[in-house]
Structure 1
Amino acid sequence: MSEKDFDDLIESANPVMAVVTTVAEGVRAGCVVGFHGQSSVEPRHYCVWLSKANHTYRTALRAEHLAVHLLTRDDMEIATHFGTTTGEDGDKFTTLSVSDGPGGVPLLEALPNRFVGRRRAMLDLGGDHACVELVVDLAQRAGAFDALRLRDVVHLRPGHEAEERAVSPER
């Protein structure tokens, strides 16, 4: 397999970026994700892949709900905020306007194109990310938008590198 060919294919797909938020035991968490997609038409299911190095991943292990906020090209500042800082250093939400969604999941007022799902399953195949499957309970849309994509944020340095994952892969 050519790693470059795979990387080029993914770059061509240029996925939409999202901020995933969650809460467990009163602890809020959120991060930028590029690995996500619908996984069932009926019932509506959606999967997000969270880096095992992230505070958001560790919080999602105990959470009941997650919110997926789709980013627009106007949301680069929020993408930078959630993509380059870590929840271990403090609450990422303190400077933002936030409301509580189902199960207390943080909803970012500045990001109105979003949906909330109940955690149905978590799948860890030993890589640097784990998949969280959601049953979509609520969707809100502010209208058509120009999506922020992977190509737009590739320059951001993550708050954690993949090698820092909380759980090492089994080989």
Structure 2
Amino acid sequence: MTGLDAFTDILDYPMYVVTAAVDGEQAGCLVGFASQCSIEPPRFMVWISTANRTYRVARRASHLAVHILRRDQGGMAELFGGRTGDDIDKFARVAWSPGQGGAPVLLDSCAWLVGRVERRAKGGDHVGFLLTPVAQSPHGPARPPLLRFSDVKGLSPGHPA
């Protein structure tokens, strides 16, 4: 255990799928490090592992799409977190449409936002992408149970974290 584990082990944060596209290449991965980070101007920060194929695409993309999953979407979490786009076409297995800047929007997600990448920040083995929201899904009628870290804790990652 690291010095941070005693603190983070009690957290059960939501999980997200981040997607990117550039030059005809698409990628997406499951992430747990993400948060709104400013009210005015509105900003959202998402962190992607530098070992991940999605990072290699996202670092060249102008926009990223961030998706919230429902607790019953473990299959989508497995696809984007337990498989690598180096081996399979994840987008052939889900319904999606191109969002602003070409970022793939997963149509079955609970909610999504597309953000313009304002800047990137190195944070060790992850890079943070500061996003300005430019599009988002409409509000749903209810707030369903969300997919959380405890729901995917046993997932074997497609790439090392």
Q: TM-score, normalised by structure 2?
A: 0.93
In 2: Cα distance, 1:133 partner to 1:13 partner = 23
Partner of 1:16: 14
**Contact 2:70 / 2:110 at 8 angstroms: preserved in 1?**
no
Give the corresponding residue for 1:160.
Answer: 159
Deviations 1:31-86 (A, max 9, x none): 00000011110111110000101110000111011011011101101000100111
Q: Which has the higher helix share?
A: 1
Using the TM superposition, give the Cα deviation of residue 93 of structure 1 relative to its aligned residue in structure 2, in angstroms: 0.4
Q: 2:99 — aligned with what?
A: 101
Distance 2:110 2:118 in 1: 24
Query: Using the alignment, how far apart are the partners of 1:149 and 1:36 within structure 2?
Result: 12
Corresponding residue for 2:136? Answer: 139
Q: Which residue of 2 aligns with 1:116?
A: 114
TM-score by length of 1: 0.88
1:33 pairs with one of 26, 31, 34: 31
Identity %: 42
Question: 1:78-124: CA deviations, max 9, x gaps?
Answer: 00010011111132101211111111111111114111100010111
Task: Give 3-state SS (helix, strand or coil) of 2:91's partner.
Answer: coil
Please provide the CA RMSD for this pair. Answer: 1.4
User: Which SS does the other structure have where 1:133 is aligned?
Assistant: strand
Deviates more, 1:136-145 or 1:10-19: 136-145
SS at match of 2:6: helix
Which ranges of 4 or more aligned residues in structure 1 deviate by more than 4 Å? none
Provide the aligned length of Structure 1 versus Structure 2: 159
Where does residue 92 of structure 1 map in the other structure?
A: 90
Q: Tell me if the contact between 1:11 and 1:151 (Cα under 8 Å) persists in the aligned partners.
A: no
Equivalent residues of 2:36, 2:43 under 8 A apart:
yes
Please, which runs of 5 or more residues in structure 2 have no aligned partner? none
Aligned pair partner of 1:130 in 111, 115, 127: 127
Does structure 1 conserve the Cα–Cα contact (< 8 Å) formed by 2:69 and 2:110? no
| Matched residue type, 2:45 | C
